[in-house]
Structure 1
Amino acid sequence: MNVIRAFIAIDLPDDVRKRLSQVSHKLQQQLKDYPIRWVPPENIHLTLKFLGDVSEHNLRLLTDLLAGEVGTHRPFEFGVGTLGAFPDMRRPRVIWVGIEAPNELLALQRGIDQTTARLGYAREQRPFQPHLTLGRVSRNASGAQVRDISRILQETTVGFLGSTRVTEVHLYRSDLRPEGAVYTRLFTTPLNPDAPPAIA
């Protein structure tokens, strides 16, 4: 049985992606001496649900369920800006740019999480914190390196980078290769302009 790694995500417009690329390039220059794996600009996206392994059988069911769920949500916009890190800026392991999360985005993520659970995919245990990952600090980074990275991040200001209008959701395949992850879009389904407003 063939199995792929997959995730569900929102893509970004070219203007926002270009500004994210500029922010990432600036950070890479400032942090070039530190063990950080940077995400290529073309791979930056807003993940709604990481599925992990998906079988061919589940893939067919998944696309049908995803289309049904996404079709109950109407298009919306969100803003992109501010620099952050997980678990926090003092102990950065994942470097990201934040998302202004409107009710529509939260409702869409919640609906997708509930829908994929019907196929046996685990529900998210942590509150959804929408973000765009720029880089990941190596687990081999020393305490001194992590403190330096933290200081540089806290000294870096990232303002508003633009708005994204969400009209569709994508299912991606992820292939891990020596040069990094390669994402292939497998399925796209539109939001529904006639859907009722989202409830917080």
Structure 2
Amino acid sequence: PEIRLQLGQLIQKFKSLRIDAVRWVAVENIHLTLKFLGDTNRTDLDKLSKILLSRSGEFSPFTFQVSGMGAFPNNRKPRVVWVGLQAPAALHELQGAVENAASQIGIPVEERGFSPHLTLGRVRNDVTPADLQTLSSALTSMQASDLGFMVAASFTLFRSDLRPQGALYTPLAHFPLAGSDK
């Protein structure tokens, strides 16, 4: 909860810049994506859920630090504004297991390396050069050095429906890690 509060305050600082071409994520929707599946049919989702449930018990809960801020592809040409995660090996191993499970049902393996982050906002294509400069400067000057630690005790398979007011996330399946009751 404390980290979500800080993320909300950080988003409010960005919103105060009044850059209309950035769609900021609602704080309650901020999440870590282990694997984006794209359009996937219900049968494949059921298969994936069974695989993930059988594998989730192989992983123990772990702690990670929410720290740092930046943009993809970079701060000068931001398309996605994010805060970073100082991810332990356990997070990378869990992501690898999810990636492997998805590949078993025919979802292509992600070519880019896993870059753990929490998306705060997405820059639309119609951003003006002046707003781009303002955002770039803010990314350089604002600090998000250490927002605290979080414990990962489970992960969830979500359906994402894109809407004009932002994405709607519907949980489809929940996977507790070993020894966790979450």
Aligned twin of 2:34:
48
More strand by share: 1
Aligned twin of 1:179:
165
Structure 2 runs not aligned, ≥5 long: none
Query: Does structure 1 retain, via aligned residues, the 8 Å contact 2:19–2:131?
Result: no
Q: Residue 128 of structure 2 is aligned with which of 133, 138, 142? A: 142
Of all paired residues, the percent bearing the same amino acid is: 42
Q: TM-score, normalised by structure 2?
A: 0.93
Matched positions, count: 180
Shift of 1:20: 0.8
Whole-Å separation in 1 of the counterparts to 2:134 and 2:175: 43
User: Which whole-Å deviations, capped at 9, do the CAs of 1:23-59 have from their partners, x for residues lacking one?
Assistant: 1111111x21341111000100011011011212112
Query: SS in structure 1 opposite 2:38?
Result: strand
Q: Residue 4 of structure 2 is aligned with which of 1, 6, 17? A: 17
Q: Which amino acid aligns with 2:2?
A: D
Q: Which amino acid aligns with 2:10?
A: V
Whole-Å separation in 2 of the counterparts to 1:16 and 1:152: 20
Q: Which amino acid aligns with 1:177?
A: R
Aligned twin of 1:105:
91
Query: Does structure 2 retain, via aligned residues, the 8 Å contact 1:70–1:112?
Result: no
RMSD: 1.4
Aligned twin of 2:106:
120
User: Which whole-Å deviations, capped at 9, do the CAs of 1:38-92 have from their partners, x for residues lacking one?
Assistant: 1000100011011011212112111101112222111100000211100011111
Whole-Å separation in 2 of the counterparts to 1:37 and 1:124: 25
Whole-Å separation in 2 of the counterparts to 1:183 and 1:88: 27
Query: Does structure 2 retain, via aligned residues, the 8 Å contact 1:44–1:133?
Result: yes
Query: SS in structure 2 opposite 1:120?
Result: coil
